[in-house]
Amino acid sequence: MHILVVEDEDAIADPLVVGLRREGYDVSRVATGEGALEASSADLVLLDLRLPDLDGLDVCRRLRERSRVPIIVLTARGEEADRVVGLELGADDYVVKPYGLRELIARIRAVMRRTASLDNAGGPMRVGELDVDERTRRATLAGSELELTPKEFDLLAALARDPGAALTRRRLLAEVWDTSWYGSSKTIDVHVAALRRKLGDPGWIETVRGVGFRLRMP
Ligand code: CA
């Protein structure tokens, strides 16, 4: 998943980019509104509203005019008007500075979940012959239903939401088990092993050494 960070202050942008990359996101950063409008398409945009060249709200509106990309606006404390207008112009959420990385990542996940379920309102997520339908909580492989426990389903759905992406153990723990307690990392291995068995080919879930896992067609 590719995140575009639009932020002019290096002191804010640099640790943000590092932190998001550590979470397994693909990140690019621009420092101006023009840069944001010229950037190649992203899966999500983090948009600072106080930019040196253009009004961030204007950038938000122009991004929204041409794509449905999820946008989270970053606003300063005390700028309530910006938040309201940002949401009216099509931003999906806002985060108030100074924010913690964990809070921001939780918002990113929530926005992605929301937009993924909208995008998939017409049908399940599909990776090759694997279909994962979060609405009905059913997963099928080549048309045959997989008998999954609730957590196995949640884990498969988390992987299927972003096929090919390396998802960190920490992110999977947070998304599937609502915890970042690192000690429970073994739980992931147990569930991954069960999923591989049920999918019939361990190649579906690839181990990314030192990071976590990715879903791909074997
Ligand atoms: Ca700024």
pLDDT of residue 121: 53
CATH, domain range 121-215: 1.10.10.10
End-to-end CA distance of the chain: 20
Averaged pLDDT, 97-103: 89
CA–centroid distance, residue 48 to ligand 1 (Å)? 6
> Ligand 1 centroid to 65 CA: how many Å?
22
pTM of the full structure: 0.60
Tell me the percentage of the chain whose pLDDT exceeds 90: 56
pLDDT mean over 101-111:
90
Burial class (CB in 10 A: 0-12, 13-18, 19+), 111: middle
Residues 6+ apart with CB under 8 A from 15: 101
* pLDDT score of 84: 81
CA 22 to centroid of ligand 1, rounded, Å: 23
What's the rounded mean pLDDT across residues 158-176?
A: 87
| Three-state SS sequence of 12-29 | HHHHHHHHHHHCCCEEEE
- 2-117, what's its fold? Rossmann fold (3.40.50)
Q: Where are the domains of the chain?
A: 2-117, 121-215
Name which of 11, 67, 19 is nearest 39 in CA terms.
67
Q: Between 210 and 116, whose confidence is greater?
A: 210
